[in-house]
Amino acid sequence: MVAPSSVSKPGDYHKGRPYNITAVRAPPVNAIWDYSVMTGKAPMSTTVSGRSCGECSLCCKLAKIIELDKPDGVWCRHCAPGRGGCMIYETRPPVCRNWNCNWILEPALGAEWRPLISKMILYYENDGRRLCVRVDPGYANAWRREPYYSQLKQCARRIAEAHKQVVVYIRKKAIVILPDKDVDLGDLEVGDQIWVGAQNSPKGKTWYAASVPADVPPEQATAWVMSRAAK
């Protein structure tokens, strides 16, 4: 296993002006998944041939589903995991009917990403600008294991320059995987934003991440972060 890089705490902001900025509003943590984005990006017809949920019901545990008054991280009251799954399958709400995790939708994901094996669910937020890695709280370190961590880090390095993010969620907790470090943002509250910036330095580009409160306008997020860093 390759050990992940150190996890910084919020407030480890660089005191210079960021070179490259992505300020993306986080999903309201009381409605974690933007299902409309998910289904819009990859409708059911694009499922990978040969892949199906089978015995897996992990999204029935990890998702917060407003229609069912279901909190995230606990099994849906309609689920019998490993014993048939959804007990109201024929009448399950559209939010369940129309959603698939990336393992079902993305042929590039290897067999190791099957949620039953990985204990994680991958999906996109913000029109595909954020790859979300939602981890089963019962296996909170699953994302740090190999071969997962190396793949997530590689993805972060590949997409960061395009102002895209890789964020690990464990219940409300958010950890941003950056090309050169991981940043633990702690628990997010409803509407909080995830800010990512970078700055050139003699040793190469240095990346930063911070959470920004919901009431800060997105266009002022960078100034807000910089003012906090200056204190």
- Residues in touch with ligand SF4 (CB under 6 A): 53, 56-60, 65, 68, 76, 78-79, 86, 88, 92, 96, 100-101, 103-104, 115, 121
First to last CA, the chain: 39
**Nearest distance from C-beta of residue 217 to ligand SF4, angstroms:** 35
d(CA 204, CA 180): 10
**Nearest distance from C-beta of residue 172 to ligand SF4, angstroms:** 19
**Nearest distance from C-beta of residue 133 to ligand SF4, angstroms:** 12
- Residue ranges in the chain assigned as alpha helix (H): 35-41, 59-62, 94-97, 102-105, 115-118, 148-159, 221-230
Give 42 or 79: the residue with its C-beta nearer to ligand SF4: 79
Torsion of CA 216, 222, 224, 229, to 10 degrees: 150
Cα 12 to chain centroid, rounded:
21
**Nearest distance from C-beta of residue 159 to ligand SF4, angstroms:** 22
Give 137 or 191: the residue with its C-beta nearer to ligand SF4: 137
Give 70 or 181: the residue with its C-beta nearer to ligand SF4: 70
**Nearest distance from C-beta of residue 62 to ligand SF4, angstroms:** 8
Give 100 or 165: the residue with its C-beta nearer to ligand SF4: 100
Give 89 or 218: the residue with its C-beta nearer to ligand SF4: 89
* Residues 6 or more apart in contact with residue 37 via CB below 8 angstroms: 124, 125, 126, 127, 128
| Token pair in block for residue 64 | 């917060």
